[in-house]
Structure 1
Amino acid sequence: MKPLKERLMTPGPTPVPERVLQAMASHTMYHRSPKFKEIFAETIERLKRLFKTERDTLILTSSGTGAMEAAVSNLFSPGDSAVVIVGGKFGQRWKELCETFGVNPVVIELEWGKSVNPEDVKKKIEENRNIKGVLVQICETSTGAFNDVKALGEITARYDNVILVADGITAFGVYDIPVDDWNIDVAITGSQKALMTPPGLAVISLSEKAKSRLSRKKWAYYFDLSKEIKNQAKGQTAYTPAVNLIVGLNEALKMIEEEGLENVAKRHEILAKSARAGIKALELELLPEHPANGVTAVKLPEHIDGQKFVSWIRDRLGIVIAGGQEHLKGKIFRLSHMGYIDIFDLLTQLEAVEFALTRMEMYPAYGKAVAAAMETYIELVHQSPIKYRGER
């Protein structure tokens, strides 16, 4: 039987709440109007609260990769060197961006699924005095691995000429990350992950240490951050922005504030632990050694074609999960539990995995993952109940 509806459960884009959809359905405003300037300024302030920063925080109309490109093209010069953590597809993207703009990538190559050892980063900086930055993913979405960006910030803060540039596209809205306190000089995120808004917006926050580099000759026009700082201080962007997406993002950030960032982070932590418990009950193995709280990457047995597995779940059950990328294609699948996701969304994904394993491989998996995840969820919620505003 053909599924009645499709359920989006990928690690980006993620489901968009009805409130956000309704906000975006309003008539498009003129982007230089007083009304839009007010909404824009409000959105920036909400983003600063999410990042826990007092620094310049900018909205760009682009995917998250646009903000990554803006960081490299504005803050590094041809001939500079940067430590690049490559432990997945998006670490590889940092390397490619550096090469595109003439920056020498000093690569720390990790087995996909591994997390970087901060001491290895420190060693690279001390070995090469031309190092001008460290480029890292807080969560490597392609592998579900989490990197200790707080420890990296403690290292880079010791060097006046080294900035920490952190891709937090699947981290902000999943974790409570105090950008200023953790010495993250450049923090990046995107609208389509835990921020519960359709793709099309990127956010970049800059420390004074990072901003001091903006006076140098840069290799950017549309992504010229000096122009954006000047314009966004007046409640507008340098060029025409995605007006309705910004209205939607503002609404999504309101929802995060209403839930409370501490509660949001706790919800993601509980869902992640519940997902891992479900996978363990199926006797499957996680890919990452230090798994992130927004996405769970799972190894499939060698005899199972991961691409067919993910396609079967989509076509037969109407549930869209993600497979592997690059050399992990066909070898893993990825479950998302970030953004507008609750325990029932997670249980639906696990039930789909049970169904596929049972029907495709004649493996008796029914009920195992769901029962284990539910038991873990109930236990964790009982141990650490999430309290909302006004509750005692």
Structure 2
Amino acid sequence: MFQDKLILRIPGPTPIPHRVQQAMNHPMIGHRSGQFSKLFADVAKRLKPFFGTTQDVYILAGSGTSALEMAVVNTVGAGDEVAVLVSGAFGERFAKICERYDITAHRLNVPWGEPIRGEQLEAFLAEHPQVKAVFATQCETSTGIINPIEELAQVVRAKSDALFIVDAVSCLGAVPMEMDAWGVDIAVTGSQKAFMLPTGLAFIAASERAWNVIDNRKPQAFYLDLKAYRKSLAEQTTPYTPAVSLIFGLEEVCNMLEEEGLENIFKRHELMRDMTRAAMKALGIPLMTADEFGSATVTSLDPQGKFDAEELRKILRTKYNMIVAGGQQHLKGKIFRIGHMGYCEPLDVITVISAIEMALKEMGVDIPFGEGVKKAQEVYINHV
């Protein structure tokens, strides 16, 4: 086996296309130069369609979590009440960020693997009429669930004056996000998922409603002051030192995504999801989520005692040089997760399924050998 030929199939970071790697090798330029200003303003503008907004998209040097924190500290503060929709590990992260700033976080918890529904949120808001913001996660990476953001946004708008703030880190760019049409006030994502870059950039956009709140608040942060980013973007720059090489890479990512087209990107990810889910069903491996809410970027599987998920991951890693993700928090060691986003195509999915079948055979697990690959092929070949 070629040790440098790692097959990375986790829900981020994701593989980096060769042409993006080459773009990041561009000779360094001054981050306050006219050349960089032109580059930066161009890529910021080109991000808007992925957010489904006419508002500006701001780019900061940091992980997705930095932008989650930015969304919190610019809209609410100590003593405020917020609603946090928790359907997995990353919904809980929003709550922890809020509580670090002495914000009262009311959690709407659902079992991991289930989505938050509109009627649940409506009842919750009736119990907590003072909330100033509702925080949600579009794709809950820990379970492979996609929450119905459009439905939830409608409830927030109809039943409260709260801002609706969405963590879309592990799916934006691979699934639809229509900030303006749906009524999302702030959306956040990161570079290392569907945007096919290394970790290190975060993107955030805010609605006019959100800006009305932000402009009337005293900034709680220095580096994460969103008003500073707005002021700098108007001058085609950043308030603090940008990650120049990643911006060169982002330009090439935009080229690639625009060449494919948004609708085709969405269809590709839906196809890979459908292939993966069909294959796992054929092999008798239980899915953690119902088809209706299965993520197009990551699929979570729960062996339920049929086999050891960690042993499977070990064989994939050591024998096939393939990495799939494990579980988080109380699911650690119990489940495994297959990432299928970004620089990934249907034939890559077939490779993953084939390796899983071989690893399970080696483990002595009774599976209909070859049926997973066959089912994935059928979904692929019949795809319109």
Distance in 2 separating the partners of 1:207 and 1:3: 46
C-alpha contact 1:3 1:317 (8 A) present in aligned 2: no
RMSD of aligned alpha carbons: 1.4
The one-character-per-residue Cα deviations of 1:150-176 (angstroms, maximum 9, x if unpaired) are: 011112223673111111112211112
2:30 paired residue number: 30
Identity percentage of aligned residues = 40
C-alpha contact 2:117 2:152 (8 A) present in aligned 1: no
1:101 paired residue number: 101
Distance in 2 separating the partners of 1:288 and 1:79: 36
1:316 paired residue number: 319
Number of residue pairs matched by the alignment: 381
C-alpha contact 2:122 2:159 (8 A) present in aligned 1: no
- Structure 2 residues without counterparts, runs of 5 or longer: none
- SS of 2:182's equivalent in the other structure is coil
Q: Write out aligned runs for 1:177-188 (5 A).
A: 177-188=177-188
Amino acid at match of 2:255: K
2:301 paired residue number: 298
2:262 paired residue number: 261
Counterpart of 1:359 (choices 353, 358, 362) is 362
Distance in 2 separating the partners of 1:344 and 1:56: 36
2:161 paired residue number: 161
Matching of residue 342 in structure 1 with residue 345 in structure 2: yes
Q: Write out aligned runs for 1:1-392 (5 A).
A: 5-158=5-158, 161-214=161-214, 215-289=216-290, 290-302=293-305, 304-380=307-383, 384=384
- SS of 1:119's equivalent in the other structure is helix
Distance in 1 separating the partners of 2:160 and 2:309: 46
Distance in 2 separating the partners of 1:68 and 1:313: 33
C-alpha contact 1:77 1:218 (8 A) present in aligned 2: no
Amino acid at match of 1:280: K
Note closer, same or farther for the CA distance 1:229–1:344 as it changes in structure 2 (3 Å cut): same
C-alpha contact 2:45 2:56 (8 A) present in aligned 1: no
Distance in 2 separating the partners of 1:229 and 1:134: 23
Q: What is the deviation of 1:301?
A: 3.4
Q: What is the deviation of 1:212?
A: 1.5
Distance in 1 separating the partners of 2:320 and 2:86: 35
Amino acid at match of 2:221: A
Q: What is the deviation of 1:103?
A: 1.2
Q: What is the deviation of 1:52?
A: 2.1
Distance in 2 separating the partners of 1:302 and 1:61: 42
Q: What is the deviation of 1:88?
A: 0.9
Most deviating of 1-10 and 205-214: 1-10
Note closer, same or farther for the CA distance 1:2–1:27 as it changes in structure 2 (3 Å cut): closer
Q: What is the deviation of 1:4?
A: 6.5
1:388 paired residue number: none
Distance in 2 separating the partners of 1:105 and 1:81: 6
Distance in 2 separating the partners of 1:89 and 1:188: 16
Q: What is the deviation of 1:362?
A: 4.2
Amino acid at match of 1:379: N
- Structure 1 residues without counterparts, runs of 5 or longer: 385-392
Distance in 1 separating the partners of 2:365 and 2:108: 42
Amino acid at match of 2:343: Y
Q: Which TM-score applies when normalising by structure 2?
A: 0.96
1:389 paired residue number: none
C-alpha contact 1:82 1:133 (8 A) present in aligned 2: yes
Distance in 2 separating the partners of 1:302 and 1:48: 45
Distance in 1 separating the partners of 2:288 and 2:358: 21
Distance in 2 separating the partners of 1:257 and 1:164: 28
